[in-house]
Amino acid sequence: MFSGFMVNAWTVGSIVAVVAGLVGFFVVLRGSAFVAHAIPNGSLAGAAGASLIGVNTILGFGVFALFGALGIGTLSRRGRHDVATALALVTMLGLGALFVGLSVEYAPEIYSLLFGEILGISTTQLTPTIVLSIVCVIAIILLYRPLMLASLLPDVAEARGISTHRIQLTFLIVVALATTMTVPVVGTLLVFALMIGPPAAARTFTDRPIAAMGLSVATALCVVWAAIALAYQTNYPVGFYVGTLSAAVYAAGRGWAAWKRHRTARRAPGSQPAQSAAGAGLDWSPG
Amino acid sequence: MNPTPAAIFAPGLFTSSLVQIAALVCAVVAVVAGAVGVFTVIRGQSFAGEALGDIGTTGESGAFLVAVAPLWGIAIAAVAAAGVMELIGIQRPRGRDVATGIVLGAGLGVAALLIYLDTVQHSTTGTTFTIVFGSPFAITSSAIPLVIVLSVISLGLILVLFRPLLLSSISPELAAARGIPVRLLGAGYLLALALAVALAAFTIGTILSTALLVGPAATALRLTRSPAKAVLAAALIGIATTWLGIVMAYDSYDWYDQSGKSWPVSFFVVTLIFLAYLLAGVPAWRRRRASTSPTEAPTRA
């Protein structure tokens, strides 16, 4: 379980978990889950197109991820953000349908791009993954303060001369980078589930950003390690375990939050628990 | 015979039963998706639509595993996923994003397992492609009754709820003040959305369903501000793009010499929808150009 090709799986799995945990923290904070889903998913088309013309699939993937990020950023300046994301995504996927349809031998590859083949990672894939992940982590560290401000208090950020649109675009590019490095190796599903589940769970445990980030990374690591071990033992796909474990971690976080609310409500009867009041007060708002 | 129409409408286009079924199903689904999609765009819930469509993958692979009609699988998975989203808080704007994302991640995880089991059981390799990208030409006539029934339910829900739903989508506070049960309406709308997305996923493939749901509706809302007119326009745009896509895909058989290969319908449909959306933005863009004010025009609500 810890020898031969499995070493690559553990290494890459851990790297992916760290990057997804970090980037995912901001994805959840900014409410960008749709974008985090759209960029990896839409970039599948790039990989299929690259394989059609005989270019390195990671290159095709990266190009589409970048264009996807820029396209979403540009389209959403006019019109609704979620509509822009949806249309950019399906347009890329439509191209993907064409590319895959044209190249007969590529169809089975779609499964591994969607759901990951982490147990079949070759040593040559290791170096680009490590390099891109370091770039991602550095970008997040550099962006930390303006990104935090633009995510939580966009008006204050604008007043201080930080362009929220530019921050948004930069963040999308970081997501595209993280995607490019991870998806060809682990599949879109794995990345997406890791970018949402662990960070969302971490936020239910703590409100402090640094602590939540650390917890998010730690949780993502645990999820990935457990998923690889389980997949190795049972022969079922890794994506299944990552998807369901991420949701389970989030469910546990929600359970913990509910239990804590319940306890504080019992200790101080009469005082409204803060979190549920905020939730009930802010019902539906369009857009 | 005049050569021009023959070049556009390849021989056999109007007599092929596959094309007839595809055209019928596409038209019905386009009407439903257009009506539901207008509300999806107004409420800003494209991500929920996208997630429910993707989870159709889970349903379809499950249906394939137990040998049930695919549409049943897709519809059941979409409705179940919508139920879970409602339970964990999609009705609150703050938790909506995460609620949708968690359900999507878990649903796709299960899809990974089911497709794996499919390939083990049936020892086929192209399963994922057929499920994920789909094709209207693959629809059999036995699916038509269920398509009609689901369409009637979804469209009926939207028509019955039309006025209160519109109010609660545009101004939830005002709707709540008038005593409209906003949360119940949201749940009813989510059910209609799940059914419409299931139909779209069945028709043009699970991961492309959003195109049919959001594309025509967003285009229509760029052209008119009246919701009723937008529903009508979205349905028409949906029918036009899917039919044009069918004709083009059918023609593409002739681009290869008798090899039986063709370009996928879904590609044409999605591309046409995207072009329509961009074209619909032209009038507003020209108005902005014409107005001399250098300040940025406000984004349309």
Task: List pLDDT tens digits, range A114-163.
Answer: 777 777 777 777 887 888 889 889 999 898 888 888 888 888 888 888 88
A191 with A182: CB under 8 angstroms?
Answer: yes
The whole-model pTM stands at 0.85
Chain A residues whose CB is inside 8 A of the B89 CB are: 279
**Model pLDDT for residues B249-276, shown as the tens digit of each residue:** 888 877 765 566 678 888 899 999 999 9
B212 with B193: CB under 8 angstroms?
Answer: no
pLDDT exceeds 90 at position B77:
yes
Which residue, among A23, A29, A91, A151, would best test binding to B if mutated, counting the most B CBs under 10 Å from its CB? A91
- Straight-line distance from the first to the last Cα atom of chain B, in angstroms, rounded to the nearest whole number: 51
Instruction: Tell me which chain B residue has its CA closest to the CA of residue A237.
Output: B113
d(CA A49, CA A60): 7
CB-based contact A107 B126, cutoff 8 Å: yes
**Model pLDDT for residues B19-52, shown as the tens digit of each residue:** 888 889 999 999 999 999 999 999 888 999 999 9
CB-based contact A283 B269, cutoff 8 Å: no
Q: Which pLDDT value is given to residue A219?
A: 94
Q: Which domain holds residue A260?
A: 5-281
Taking the domains of chain B in order of start, what are their residue ranges? 24-290
To the nearest whole number, what is the mean pLDDT of chain B? 84
Q: Which pLDDT value is given to residue A275?
A: 44
CB-based contact A239 B101, cutoff 8 Å: no
Number of CB atoms found within 10 A of residue A3's CB: 6
Among the residues of chain A, which ranges form H helices? Answer: 5-30, 33-42, 44-53, 57-75, 81-102, 107-115, 126-152, 154-159, 164-186, 188-205, 209-234, 238-267, 274-281
Binding-face residues of A in 27-66 toward B, CB within 8 A: 28, 31-34, 36-38, 41
Is there a domain that residue A268 lies in? yes
CB-based contact A193 B106, cutoff 8 Å: yes
- The answer to whether A85 contacts chain B (CB < 8 Å) is yes
Is there a domain that residue A287 lies in? no
Instruction: Tell me which chain B residue has its CA closest to the CA of residue A244.
Output: B106
pLDDT exceeds 60 at position B300:
no
Facing B97 at nearest CB: one of A31, A94, A240: A31
- The answer to whether A2 contacts chain B (CB < 8 Å) is no
Q: Which pLDDT value is given to residue B198?
A: 93
Is there a domain that residue A286 lies in? no
In degrees and rounded to multiples of 5, residue B90 shows phi and psi of -70, -15
Is there a domain that residue A57 lies in? yes
A130 CA: distance to closest CA in chain B (Å): 25
Residue A25: give its domain's CATH number: 1.10.3470.10
Q: What percent of chain B has pLDDT over 70?
A: 86
- The answer to whether A26 contacts chain B (CB < 8 Å) is no
Q: Which token pair is A106?
A: 């590529």
Q: Which pLDDT value is given to residue B273?
A: 93
d(CA B29, CA A228): 41
Residues of chain A with pLDDT under 70: 1-5, 104-109, 268-287
Q: Which of B60, B32, B281, B267 is nearest to B149 (CA)?
A: B32
Binding-face residues of B in 256-285 toward A, CB within 8 A: 261-264, 266-267, 269-271, 273-274, 277, 281, 284-285
Q: Which pLDDT value is given to residue B122?
A: 74
Which residue, among A30, A111, A117, A186, would best test binding to B if mutated, counting the most B CBs under 10 Å from its CB? A111
A209 with A134: CB under 8 angstroms?
Answer: no
More confident residue, B100 or A186: B100
Q: Which pLDDT value is given to residue B51?
A: 92
Binding-face residues of B in 191-220 toward A, CB within 8 A: 205, 207-208, 210-211, 214-215, 218
Facing B105 at nearest CB: one of A87, A192, A287: A192
A251 CA: distance to closest CA in chain B (Å): 9
Is there a domain that residue A58 lies in? yes
CATH number of B24-290: 1.10.3470.10
Chain B residues whose CB is inside 8 A of the A86 CB are: 46-47, 49-50, 210-211, 214-215
- Where residue B133 falls (left for φ over 0; alpha for ψ -120 to 50; beta otherwise) is alpha
DSSP B257: S
Q: Which pLDDT value is given to residue A282?
A: 33
Chain A residues whose CB is inside 8 A of the B43 CB are: 284, 286-287
Tokens 């994506």, residue? A239
Chain A residues whose CB is inside 8 A of the B94 CB are: 31, 279, 282
A116 with A238: CB under 8 angstroms?
Answer: yes
Facing A197 at nearest CB: one of B51, B102, B277: B102
Which residue, among A51, A219, A249, A284, would best test binding to B if mutated, counting the most B CBs under 10 Å from its CB? A284
CB-based contact B284 A85, cutoff 8 Å: no
Facing B109 at nearest CB: one of A82, A189, A286: A189
Chain A residues whose CB is inside 8 A of the B41 CB are: 80, 83
CB-based contact B44 A287, cutoff 8 Å: yes
Q: Which pLDDT value is given to residue B194?
A: 94
Which residue, among A87, A245, A275, would best test binding to B if mutated, counting the most B CBs under 10 Å from its CB? A87
Facing A240 at nearest CB: one of B51, B113, B277: B113
Q: How many domains does chain A have?
A: 1
Facing B47 at nearest CB: one of A28, A82, A90: A82
Is there a domain that residue A48 lies in? yes
**Model pLDDT for residues B157-204, shown as the tens digit of each residue:** 999 999 888 888 888 888 888 888 888 888 899 999 999 999 999 988
Of B57-71, B118-132, B157-171, the range with the lowest mean pLDDT is: B118-132
Q: Which pLDDT value is given to residue B243?
A: 92
Mean pLDDT of B141-158: 91
B91 with B186: CB under 8 angstroms?
Answer: yes
- The answer to whether B113 contacts chain A (CB < 8 Å) is yes
Facing B281 at nearest CB: one of A37, A78, A86: A78
pLDDT exceeds 50 at position B297:
no
A24 with A194: CB under 8 angstroms?
Answer: yes
pLDDT band, very low/low/confident/very high, at B242 (cuts 50, 70, 90): very high
**Count of pairs with CB atoms under 8 A, one residue in A, one in B:** 227
Instruction: Tell me which chain A residue has its CA closest to the CA of residue B47.
Output: A34
Binding-face residues of B in 134-193 toward A, CB within 8 A: 168-172, 176, 182-183, 186
